[in-house]
Amino acid sequence: MTALRFQSPVIARGAFIFAPGDVTPSAGRVTVLIGPNGGGKTTALRAAAGMLAPEQGAILLDGAPVHSMPAAQRAARMALVAQRPEVGAPFSVRDVVALGRVRRPAAPERIEQALARAGLSQLADRPFHALSGGQQQRVAVARALAQHEPGGVLLLDEAFAAVDPPEAAALVREIRAEAAAGATVLAATHDLSVASALADDVWCIAGGRSTAFGAARELLTRAALPSLLGVAVAEAHGTRGTIAVADYGGILPEAPR
Amino acid sequence: MMHRRPMIGLALVAVASCIAVAARLLVVRTLDGSLLVGWPGPTLGQFRVDAVLVACSAGAALGASGAILQTLLRNPLASPFVLGVTSGAGAGVAFASLAASIAGMAAPTGAALGAPALAGALLALGCVLLLARRHGVLDPITLILGGVIVGAIASAGSTVAEALLPPERRGLFTGWLFGRIPEVPDMGSLAACAAAALGLTGLGAAWGNRLDGAALSDDEARSIGIALGPMRTAMFIGCGVATAATVALCGPIAFVGLLAPHCARALVGARNRMLVPGAAVAGAGLLTAADALRQWIDIGGGRLPLGAVTAVFGGVAFLVLLRRTAAGWMA
Amino acid sequence: MVSVSGIRRSGVRVHFRSIRTVDRMQPILASLATAAALAFAAACGRAPAKGARAPAAGSAARIVSLSPALTRTVCMLGGQGAVVGRTPWCEAPDAVVVGTLEDRNLEAIAALHPTLILRQSSTEDPALDTVAASSGATLRTWHFDRVEDVRGGLDPLAKLLAAGGIPAAEAAARDLLDRHQRAIAVPVRTTVPVLFLFSVDPPMAFGSGTYVDDLWRAMGGANAITRAGYPTLTAEDVIRLAPSAVVVIGRGALPSWIGSASPVQVQVEAPDLLEPSARMLVDGPGSLHRVDDSITAARSGG
């Protein structure tokens, strides 16, 4: 199992300083990243993927700094789904999913399996650009699944933003299956109900600092979330336990009439 | 548009290009207006063979460059000229003509223009590559901007040099701007262009999967294991050098580098391992066909310059192709 | 995104002006008659000032020429002292460079207080018209393409110069025409079709209706190219044409395939054949006679 560790890295992007401290997402568990926009969630994921070099400290993948690792070696153990999937060529869905294996060719069944897991078997031969935003996001996740080896690291940045609930549920199931097989999953999301379905652990980042890291059942609650996110939260009871839901009406005081 | 058998597509492209080559070799319109079909014997035939060699080398270089650039820049309208290389070559030619004029020497023509064209092209390429570095890596958007800026500056230089040329020498430079397939090419330029075309096509095919990956966003491309920086640098330099060799041999030729990848993609698919060779073969065929058309069309004042043929037919063909392609390539 | 491609011209620009068939002479002749009458009435008998730069009163001619061919013609008509403004390529060293036809410095032209402005163009130039009007200058546009253009233009031009204070111009014009007539009266010995090229890479020829064709045929020769204008040929065209002789006018190395086109290749450096001016009228036939001699020698020797 691959170990991912944030060893007090400090990354400066202009005026914004990302310094989350010492954080180790657990292997075999899904850690959901929550926090306000611009707070550092994407920075955390990009840094974990080796895209950013920390000025101090390090981000370690199995003990070695991620940033200086050769791209091919890193790709064997870590897969990233970026925030807005961009494909600048008229590829089919299958072609895009197959891109996950460009450096380490695998049997075609692997690609078909990834397509099936993301619910894309029917769409496999269609052009990527003919798909809706949510479908395109699922393609990106399928690509990561095709690339991902059991026990590696999966990084997902807002992978559910445009996906409708049935499709999102399928993705949640697949991601949790990966975690169960030993992967370290780090997923950023704004959607609290998805977070509730997905998370084992929660990592809250705001202003570039970690404001919380702990078990989901303690943090994704009506008690803890408002102070972390500045939202009013209601709780519902679902099949897996408590579901936290943002109470939009309660976030802001009543407008004067 | 899904291609289970790109090899068949590639074979089709090859067949079409062979037909174009045969047409150029066997069919010609004579001065008195009649069409002559058949092999004309060794002396005249040698001109046609040389012309076909030039057209295939230049067309292949342009086609391969166009395919690679459209992938790397994630833009279906990218073409080899976006690197500002052509304008640099034009400036080189203009200044060489001016220097010859000032020195009282005969105006350099044809083959003698190859060296200044190449020098100007490589200089422009160097400037563009220097301008386009962002965070230490070549950035596609900045590259396009740099290409346009360097191209504009080089064009301005050409205009100045051309304005200083005496009237009787200006026609040569203007004629060069239209591009032509020389019937008696400079063998050095031809060899360089052919080598560049083969090298770039081979590299593009070998790195086909990596090029495919470069269609993703920068972060995702890196995350699937592609060393984006070195690959972009190598490919942009390769495309620039191949285009410079083409311009040095034939002058600037529009549309082939833009159109050949689209023709190839329609038959061979978008995966670069097949697309780059397909675009090279398509480019060779297109340019040979353009040269053949140029031979056949006679509007009384002699033949049209090659640039006019590629612009008219290429422009129309591109419009048609654009209408048919699935909308919204670009993310 | 489509980039700058470097193709800025909308048509191929040939070295020399293409043939025009519009009759331009009649309005010019009418205006000339009026101008000449007025000028004579105002300045009878005054000698022309020579080389004067400062604006001299009276009838001293001050000529600005925006065409090298016209400058040369004016000089051959005796007006070289009167040329005060020229293009960088005109041969009149004492004159000030005022720019080119397309890019003329209007202030510089006006500052010279010209009496006559000459240009060759198929388009109007309203700004230059205004400068001419305000300086009181006569502006004339000429088109020297064919032999008859130059022949027919000598007299009117001479009259303009005479009216402007160079009375010897008319006699000079008659003299030039005489010399031209005597020169083309001698026939050439080469009567087989000859190809005249002014460029070899790509090959560009003098077709019918060009001044070289006019001169050659007036002297009894034949042009291998029957189509009009200055056609661009291919090497294959030239070889297939198999002219009895290929004449290349200009400098530069000849490509090897010219030998396959014709047994006789003549290269002549003849600036008088590269510009339709009075020099072409007078010296052109002589250059063509030298070409004829070379061809005859080669054909009999070979």
| pLDDT tens, position by position, B125-179 | 889 988 888 776 778 888 888 898 999 999 999 889 888 887 777 777 777 888 8
Instruction: Name the one residue in this structure whose structure tokens are 């650009």.
Output: A129
Touching status, chains B and C (3+ beta-carbon pairs under 8 Å): yes
Chain C residue with minimum CA distance to B156: C6
- What distance in Å separates the CA atoms of residue B42 and residue B57, rounded to the nearest whole number? 22
Phi, psi of C171 (to 5 degrees): -65, -40
- What distance in Å separates the CA atoms of residue A39 and residue A17, rounded to the nearest whole number? 10
Q: Confirm or reject contact between B325 and chain A (CB < 8 A).
A: yes
Q: Which of A79, A86, A147 sits opposite B331 (nearest CB)?
A: A86
- What distance in Å separates the CA atoms of residue B16 and residue B51, rounded to the nearest whole number? 18
Residues in chain A with CB shorter than 8 Å from the CB of B212 are: 89, 91, 95, 99, 102
Q: Residue type at B295?
A: Q
User: How many CB pairs below 8 A link A and B?
Assistant: 112
Under the banding of pLDDT at 50, 70 and 90, the label for residue B301 is low
> Could you write out the DSSP letters of every residue in C77-144?
IIIGGGEEEE-TTSS-TTSEE-B-SSSB-HHHHHHT--SEEEEE-SS--HHHHHHHHHHT-EEEEE--
Q: Confirm or reject contact between A61 and chain B (CB < 8 A).
A: no
* Among B3-7, B60-64, C95-99, the range of highest mean pLDDT: B60-64
- What distance in Å separates the CA atoms of residue C86 and residue C127, rounded to the nearest whole number? 18
CA distance B110 to chain C (A): 6
CA distance B211 to chain A (A): 10
Under the banding of pLDDT at 50, 70 and 90, the label for residue A47 is very high
The architecture CATH gives domain C59-184: 3-Layer(aba) Sandwich (3.40)
Task: Please tell me chain B's helix, strand, coil percentages from 3-state DSSP, rounded to the nearest 5.
Answer: 75, 5, 20
Two structure tokens written together for C243:
């002219």
- What distance in Å separates the CA atoms of residue A155 and residue A206, rounded to the nearest whole number? 19
Residues in chain A with CB shorter than 8 Å from the CB of B329 are: 88-90, 129
More confident residue, B165 or A129: A129
- What distance in Å separates the CA atoms of residue B208 and residue B278, rounded to the nearest whole number? 12
Q: Residue type at C33?
A: A
CATH 3.40.50.1980 fits C187-301, yes or no: yes
Domains defined for chain B, CATH in brackets: 6-324 (1.10.3470.10)
Q: State the CB neighbour count (10 A cutoff) for residue C94.
A: 11
- Mean pLDDT across B27-54: 88
Question: Chain C, 243-282: which have a CB under 8 Å from a chain B CB?
Answer: 250-252, 255-257, 260, 274-275
Q: Residue type at B158?
A: S
Residue A90 has pLDDT above 70, yes or no: yes
- pTM for this one? 0.82
What are the residue ranges of helices labelled H in A88-246? Answer: 93-98, 108-117, 133-147, 165-180, 192-198, 216-219, 225-229
Whether B47 and C235 lie within 8 Å, measured CB to CB: yes
- What distance in Å separates the CA atoms of residue B183 and residue B269, rounded to the nearest whole number? 34
- What distance in Å separates the CA atoms of residue A133 and residue C264, rounded to the nearest whole number? 74
**What ipTM was reported for this prediction?**
0.90
Using one digit for the tens of pLDDT, what is the confidence trace for A199-242?
Answer: 999 999 999 999 999 998 888 888 888 888 888 888 888 887 88
Q: Are strands C193-200 and C203-205 parallel, antiparallel or unpaired?
A: antiparallel
β-partners of residue B297 are none
Using one digit for the tens of pLDDT, what is the confidence trace for A158-169?
Answer: 988 888 888 888
Residues in chain C with CB shorter than 8 Å from the CB of B302 are: 204, 227, 229-233
Closest CA to A22 of A39, A4, A5: A5
Residues in chain B with CB shorter than 8 Å from the CB of A155 are: 223
Q: Residue type at C164?
A: G
Residues in chain C with CB shorter than 8 Å from the CB of B84 are: 3-4
What are the residue ranges of helices labelled H in chain C? Answer: 25-42, 68-74, 106-111, 126-135, 147-163, 168-185, 211-218, 235-241, 258-261, 278-301
Q: Which of A73, A76, A88 sits opposite B215 (nearest CB)?
A: A88
* Contact indicator for A183, A148 with CB cutoff of 8 Å: yes
Domain ranges across chain C: 59-184, 187-301
The pLDDT assigned to C27 comes to: 57
Residue B19 has pLDDT above 50, yes or no: yes
Under the banding of pLDDT at 50, 70 and 90, the label for residue C285 is very high
Q: State the CB neighbour count (10 A cutoff) for residue A116.
A: 14
CA distance B209 to chain C (A): 25
Q: Which of B212, B215, B223 sits opposite A79 (nearest CB)?
A: B223
* Contact indicator for C192, C199 with CB cutoff of 8 Å: no
- Mean pLDDT across C256-260: 87
Residue C54 has pLDDT above 60, yes or no: no
Using one digit for the tens of pLDDT, what is the confidence trace for A180-209?
Answer: 999 999 999 988 888 999 999 999 999 999
Q: Residue type at B94?
A: A
Residues 6+ apart with CB under 8 A from B164: B98, B101
The pLDDT assigned to A205 comes to: 93
* Contact indicator for B292, B55 with CB cutoff of 8 Å: no
Question: Chain A, 81-110: which have a CB under 8 Å from a chain B CB?
Answer: 81-82, 84-92, 95, 99-100, 102-104
Residue A128 has pLDDT above 50, yes or no: yes
Tell the burial category of C209 from Cβ atoms under 10 Å away from its Cβ (0-12, 13-18, 19+).
Answer: middle
CA distance B47 to chain A (A): 40
What is the residue-averaged pLDDT of chain B? 87
- What distance in Å separates the CA atoms of residue A160 and residue C97, rounded to the nearest whole number? 73
End-to-end CA distance of chain C: 60
Question: Chain C, 55-94: which have a CB under 8 Å from a chain B CB?
Answer: 68, 88-89
Same fold, C59-184 and C187-301: yes
CA distance B72 to chain A (A): 8
Using one digit for the tens of pLDDT, what is the confidence trace for B186-223?
Answer: 888 899 999 999 999 999 999 999 999 999 988 999 99
Domains defined for chain A, CATH in brackets: 4-251 (3.40.50.300)
Closest CA to B219 of C302, A4, A43: A43
What is the residue-averaged pLDDT of chain C? 80
- Mean pLDDT across B248-269: 90
- Mean pLDDT across C10-22: 36
> CA gyration radius for chain C?
21
- What distance in Å separates the CA atoms of residue C87 and residue A236, rounded to the nearest whole number? 90
CA distance B5 to chain C (A): 31
Ramachandran class of C231: left when φ > 0, alpha when ψ lies in -120 to 50, beta otherwise? beta
Whether B212 and A95 lie within 8 Å, measured CB to CB: yes
